[in-house]
Amino acid sequence: MRAHRAGAADVTASYLPRWPRRRPHADTTPRLSRLPSPATMLPPAARLAARRLLGIASSSAPEAAARRLSPSPISYAAAGCSSRLFSTALNYHIDSPENNPDMPWEFTETNMKKVKEILSHYPSNYKQSGIIPMLDLAQQQHGGWVPVAAMNAIAKIVGVAPIRVYEVATFYTMFNRAKVGKYHLLVCGTTPCMIRGSREIEEALLEHLGVKRNEVTGDGLFSVGEMECMGCCVNAPMIAVADYSKGSDGYTYNYYEDLTPSRVVEIVEMLRRGETPPVSSRL
């Protein structure tokens, strides 16, 4: 009888699912996370290639740590091929005399009317839905960038913790958290524009203005940033010009398409003279 029961148990066990295998005892090994990292989820060949690129061979822990601290030339090459910078110059905040939470900041009387109009579109318990248009309005008022004091003012208006506004402002690259020029030139850096010469467009702008990306010219007129796809792939390469020279009342955001290095320099010089370049695919 016992043999029969044992046999039945064996047959039943063969039909039990064998995945996932459960460990008889809890794993108490201290570690940062029990979840697999992206590196361990790669196929073996890709994992080996990644380790070689990072200069981490299958050796002892001290040797691997030493290699991390002193990366090989391949590591520098891999770092140079990393993702591009976006138009926002900083991905963190450092208090400065011109940008700190103790600075007084509030919307102008005219813009406060716009704020009330924005909030009128949402129920009273969903005022935080107006954070994005209010950040855009604050950026226009403040000459093209949003200081942390403006974010705090918006948080107070919509009745949320300031971190909720910080999260939105740091997520979208269209919100600048450092000073930009009165004319902020945004070069499209997505694939169609790159194939059509957007890098040459950017190089022509930087060389002509004598600045690096996200730097402001000495006269405060121009800065050059990068933007992701702006939906004009058919007329690539293109740039967008955010005009903050007249504040929020005269703010404009125009596209210029089918550009060449010489044409983009012409646009800069027309803006410098106070002229408005024709908004079309041709000058």
pLDDT at 42: 52
Residue 131 near residue 161, CB atoms below 8 Å = no
**For 207-257, what is each residue's pLDDT tens digit?**
999 999 989 999 999 999 998 898 889 999 999 999 998 887 888 889 999
d(CA 270, CA 278): 10
Would you give the DSSP letter of residue 24? S
pLDDT category of residue 66 using cuts at 50, 70 and 90:
very low
**For 86-139, what is each residue's pLDDT tens digit?**
444 556 677 888 888 889 999 999 999 999 999 999 998 899 999 999 999 999
pLDDT at 281: 58
pTM for this entry: 0.65
Residue 227, SS3 per DSSP = strand
pLDDT at 175: 92
- The structure tokens listed for 141 are 């008022």
Spatial CB neighbours of 105, under 8 Å, sequence gap ≥ 6: 142, 147, 149, 150, 152, 153
For 216-227, give one letter per residue: b (16+ CB within 10 A) or e.
Answer: bbeeeebbbbbb
**For 47-65, what is each residue's pLDDT tens digit?**
555 555 555 444 444 444 4
**For 246-270, what is each residue's pLDDT tens digit?**
887 888 889 999 999 999 999 999 9
Q: What is the DSSP string of 236-265?
A: -S-EEEEE-TTTTTS-EEEEE-S--HHHHH
272 pLDDT exceeds 60? yes
The domains located in the chain, with CATH, are: 85-177 (1.10.10.1590), 183-272 (3.40.30.10)
Give the pLDDT mean for 18-23: 51
d(CA 253, CA 248): 11
**For 6-18, what is each residue's pLDDT tens digit?**
454 444 444 444 5
